[in-house]
Structure 1
């Protein structure tokens, strides 16, 4: 009789670092919300940085989706950057 082995994958330090990086990436883009509010209240900021962030996020989301095995943490971490970067850019004009 053949014995079936149950293989469990132990989560290493890299797993936890990647999850923490995903959380902080999202927080970085959410931090645009106060600037968006200031922009809407009339004190426009510099539009270059949020535009670069939006373009950078678009490239990373594309990378994550174009990989043979989608890299969902990269996609999820950068989606807010596209939306909030563009909103910040347009409200600062």
Structure 2
């Protein structure tokens, strides 16, 4: 497999896995809304991290779509989990 094709396939797989990682916050959000609160620090830091990586990927001279797509959902899921964990 050529190096460029390998990197393209790897970026797609990594982006899908990253989105799955942030979607996995949904059960915790539901638990938070039902009173079983999680610690808010980790999802806050994840949301902040995803915000920074998304800004980086968007404003690069050549946009890095794999990094952007992988991190953008984490902004929402991280901060929603954070806010629902506050009690």
TM-score by length of 1: 0.86
Counterpart of 2:42? Answer: 49
> Is residue 33 of structure 2 the alignment partner of residue 40 of structure 1?
yes
Q: Distance in 1 between matches of 2:20 and 2:10?
A: 15
Gaps of 5+ in 1: 1-9
Shift of 1:15: 1.2
Counterpart of 1:82? Answer: 75
Q: Higher mean Cα deviation, 52-61 or 12-21?
A: 12-21
Structure with a larger share of its residues in helix: 2
Cα RMSD (Å) of the superposition? 1.5
Shift of 1:78: 0.6
Q: Distance in 1 between matches of 2:78 and 2:50?
A: 9
Count of aligned residue pairs for this structure pair? 85
Question: Could you give the per-residue CA deviations for residues 8-49 of structure 1, whole angstroms, max 9, x where no partner exists?
Answer: xx9521111111000000000000000000000011110000
TM-score by length of 2: 0.92
Post-superposition, which runs of at least 4 consecutive aligned residues in structure 1 deviate over 6 A? none
> Is residue 8 of structure 2 the alignment partner of residue 12 of structure 1?
no
Q: Distance in 2 between matches of 1:16 and 1:87?
A: 30
Q: Distance in 2 between matches of 1:17 and 1:66?
A: 22
